[in-house]
Amino acid sequence: MTILSRQSLRQRLPRTLRAALPAVALALILIAIFNLQPRARSYFGLNLLLNLSVPIVFATLAQMFVLTIGDLDLSVGGFVSLVACISVTHLTQTPWLGVLMLVGCVVLYGLLGALIAWRQLPAIVVTLGMSFVWFGLAVLVLPSPGGRAPAWLISTMGYRPPLVPLPIIIATLTAIVVFLAFMTTPGGVILRGAGGNANAIARAGWSLMRIRITLYVLAGCMGVISGLTLTGITTSADSNIALRYTLVSIAAAILGGSEFVGGKVSPIGAVLGALTMTLAASFLSFLQISPDWQIGVQGVILIIVLALRALLEWWERHA
Amino acid sequence: MKRYPWLWSFLGALAVWLVTIVVVEGRGAGATLTAALNFAVFYVVVGAGQMFVVTTGPGNVDLSIPANIALAGAVAMRVMDGNTLLIPVGIIAAVAVGASIGSVNFLLIYLLRIPPIIATLSSSFIIQSLAIAFGRGLRIRPPEPLADFTTARAFGVPFMTLAALLLTVLLSYVLRESVFGRSVTALGQNARAARLAGIRVNKTRWLTYTLCASLAGLTSVLLAAYSGGASLDMGNQFLLSSIAVVVIGGTSIAGGDANVPGLWGASLFLFLVVTMLNALGVSSGLRQMLTGLIIITIITLSSRRQAT
């Protein structure tokens, strides 16, 4: 009995550690920042540090929904940029037209999923092509930097709730809501199952086409929220405002425990990953290192976490 | 047509060229073609590397090419420092940078057991930072003879195009006849069968990623020489275009079936499409959008072709 329980503990430990990796990475970088700059520990400091994480959290969730079915979305950045451009122009000037355009964008995203499912196209190539389409549309909507976000959006993102800064509340609530809706409901199980074993789900009578469309529509919705919250913070936009989100969202989702085989995703991990990626950027400025290295450090963090994960997997197999 | 899938890309290029000639009323038709032959070289050389990677099987794509080109180009220009005698050293340096990047990519895939897309993506983050730190504000002009080589031509045919043609013939031979080339194809058709047949899978993967990154390094020198110096964003367009020329050229995106001649047709097509849109006076936003749509359309159509 004792041997049995010790064995199971030895097997469980690496798995638990692996699940805790995203949280550990975030905690480490937070501790490092607090040590370098004690003033960051205040309400105001945290608000400032995490403000720009809100749109990244939603962009990462968009990526996560696409990763669920084993696809990779290289158009997230272009899409969020387009949403931001619509937000600071049409949504402010003629709100109904702006809303209509955003709905159109989400519908297009769903059609994209339909096209990929219908012709069995490699998502990476299709979304790479779409990144040019979104970017081109963004340039057409907003040819030169500027515009102004709707007042309600700016005041929402500028809201200062008592005790806990807004970005932390948004991140926590989003993580909980998406976790409950995606990881604990029957619908979520089917959506994730299609990524894990498409044949099994198809044989059980579910339409893989509808599942892919649903996931792409969800991704589109997250992209829209990302673009809106972004302009709520920046108040104006330009056509390449969020292009870097494509790479950051993939890195953050992977950091948060999403895997490529499909089906294995983690909403809470994705949110933690997005926060870590945002903080990694600020961390450098506290060290007074040139922002040139910002993206490099994000790459290093990603590789370290992937290496740790590989190590823990090896341990799990040999335990 | 079915036996020669690359014919489509050449027909497409021809059609686009003819439309362009009609639009500009016949003015500069030859010059357009010469420019296309010149620019196609960049697409072809980068695309050839990507083609080898894609051919090794589903999920194999090198996303680090743009960062690679930025870094290798900056290194080459620094090493040459405008000195004619140092041209070979600079070229070797750029290819060496590429080869190292390819080896690192393979090591990440091999050691961390992560999909190539994630491996090349994470390495590209770091390479990009290196390129920014190393190449910022770099204002070194390429040595004159090198710059001249990239623009020199005889009877409207650029020398660079002839050199690239030779290179692709060589790569085509490697792909069809060498052990390495056949291993690449076998790996893409069925990785398990290839492994059981005694093919050295890891060695093949390593060579493939190194070849791809080395070719990107070589392209960076040509690009920098052609455009009068290395810039940090000169590789950006090659993420999409390297994958696009591979797919448009008739190479199977699922791996196991490469097509070298198609690279030329697809590269000419891609350049001529942009030329045509410019000739039509299309705005930059609309041009980007149409380029993306054309690529998606072609991929959709080519999937129908493979299915039948």
Joined tokens for residue B153: 């031509």
**Cα dihedral sign, A186-A192-A196-A202:** positive
CB contact under 8 A, B117 and A297: no
User: Per-residue pLDDT tens for B184-196?
Assistant: 999 999 989 999 9
Transcribe A137-163 into DSSP letters: HHHHH-SSSB----HHHHHHHT---SS
Contacts of A310 in chain B (CB under 8 A): 111-114
The alpha-carbon radius of gyration of chain A (Å, integer) is 20
Distance CA B19, CA B22 (A): 5
3-state helix, strand, coil in chain A (%, to 5): 80, 0, 20
CB contact under 8 A, B126 and A247: no
Least CB–CB distance from A137: residue in B254, B289, B304: B289
The rounded mean pLDDT for chain B is 90
Distance CA A20, CA A13 (A): 10
* Half-sphere exposure at residue B74, Cβ-oriented, CA atoms within 13 angstroms: 22
CB contact under 8 A, B300 and A115: yes
Virtual torsion, Cα B291, B292, B298, B304, nearest 10 deg: -170
* Residue (of B235, B218, B238) closest to B87 by Cα position: B218
The Cα of A258 is separated from the nearest Cα of chain B by a number of Å equal to 12
The Cα of A196 is separated from the nearest Cα of chain B by a number of Å equal to 16
Q: How many CB pairs below 8 A link A and B?
A: 135
pTM of the model: 0.90
CB contact under 8 A, B129 and A128: no
CB contact under 8 A, A136 and B287: yes
Q: Which chain A residues in 59-78 lie under 8 Å from chain B, judged by CB atoms?
A: 72
Q: How far is CA B220 from CA A53, A268, B234, in A?
A: 35, 41, 8
pLDDT score recorded for residue B307: 42
* ipTM for the whole complex: 0.85
CA nearest to B134 within chain A: A292
pLDDT score recorded for residue B305: 52
B139 against B53, higher pLDDT: B53
**Percent of chain B predicted with pLDDT > 70:** 97
pLDDT score recorded for residue A4: 53
pLDDT score recorded for residue A1: 45
Transcribe chain B into DSSP letters: --S-TTHHHHHHHHHHHHHHHHHTTTTTHHHHHHHHHHHHHHHHHHHHHHHHHHHT-TT---TTHHHHHHHHHHHHHHHHTT-GGGHHHHHHHHHHHHHHHHHHHHHHHHHH---HHHHHHHHHHHHHHHHHHHHTT--PPPPHHHHHHHH-EETTEEHHHHHHHHHHHHHHHHHHHSHHHHHHHHHHH-HHHHHHTT--HHHHHHHHHHHHHHHHHHHHHHHHHHTTS--TTTTTTHHHHHHHHHHHTT--TTSS---HHHHHHHHHHHHHHHHHHHHTT--HHHHHHHHHHHHHHHHHHHHHHHH-
Least CB–CB distance from A295: residue in B108, B129, B292: B129
Per-residue model confidence as pLDDT tens for chain A (319 residues): 455 555 677 777 887 888 888 899 999 999 999 998 888 888 988 988 898 899 999 999 999 999 999 888 999 999 999 999 999 999 999 999 999 999 999 999 999 999 999 988 888 889 989 999 999 999 999 999 999 999 999 999 999 999 899 999 999 999 999 999 999 999 999 999 888 888 888 898 899 999 999 999 999 999 999 999 999 999 999 998 998 899 889 989 988 887 766 778 889 999 999 999 999 888 887 888 887 888 888 888 889 888 888 888 888 888 7
Using the Cβ of A115 and the Cβ atoms of chain B, whether some distance falls under 8 Å is answered with: yes
**Residue A288 Cα to chain centre, angstroms:** 27
Q: Which sequence spans correspond to the domains of chain B?
A: 31-307
Using the Cβ of A132 and the Cβ atoms of chain B, whether some distance falls under 8 Å is answered with: yes
pLDDT score recorded for residue B269: 93
User: Per-residue pLDDT tens for B7-63?
Assistant: 888 888 898 888 888 888 877 788 888 889 999 999 999 999 999 999 998 889 999
Write down the residue that tokens 């540090």 correspond to.
Answer: A49
- Please, which residues have CB within 8 angstroms of residue B232's CB and are 6 or more apart in sequence? B70, B74, B131, B132, B135, B136
Distance CA A277, CA A247 (A): 11
CB contact under 8 A, B295 and A129: yes
- Please, which residues have CB within 8 angstroms of residue B161's CB and are 6 or more apart in sequence? B37, B38, B40, B41
pLDDT score recorded for residue B308: 37
Interface test with B, best of A75, A133, A290 (most B CBs within 10 A): A133
Using the Cβ of A308 and the Cβ atoms of chain B, whether some distance falls under 8 Å is answered with: no
Using the Cβ of A243 and the Cβ atoms of chain B, whether some distance falls under 8 Å is answered with: no
Using the Cβ of A181 and the Cβ atoms of chain B, whether some distance falls under 8 Å is answered with: no
pLDDT score recorded for residue B217: 97
* Residue (of A306, A299, A270) closest to A64 by Cα position: A270
Distance CA A59, CA B95 (A): 36
For residues A180 and A125, the answer to whether their CB atoms sit within 8 Å is: no
pLDDT score recorded for residue A54: 96
Return the CATH number of B31-307, one of 2.40.50, 3.30.70, 3.40.50, 1.10.3470. Answer: 1.10.3470
Least CB–CB distance from A125: residue in B130, B290, B299: B299
In this structure, what are the phi and psi dihedrals at residue A237, rounded to the nearest 5 degrees?
A: -150, 170
B1 pLDDT band, cuts 50/70/90, is low
Per DSSP, the three-state class of A164 is coil
CA nearest to A306 within chain B: B112
- CA angle B274/B278/B284 to nearest 5° reads 85
pLDDT score recorded for residue B237: 87
- Is the pLDDT reported for residue B6 higher than 80? no
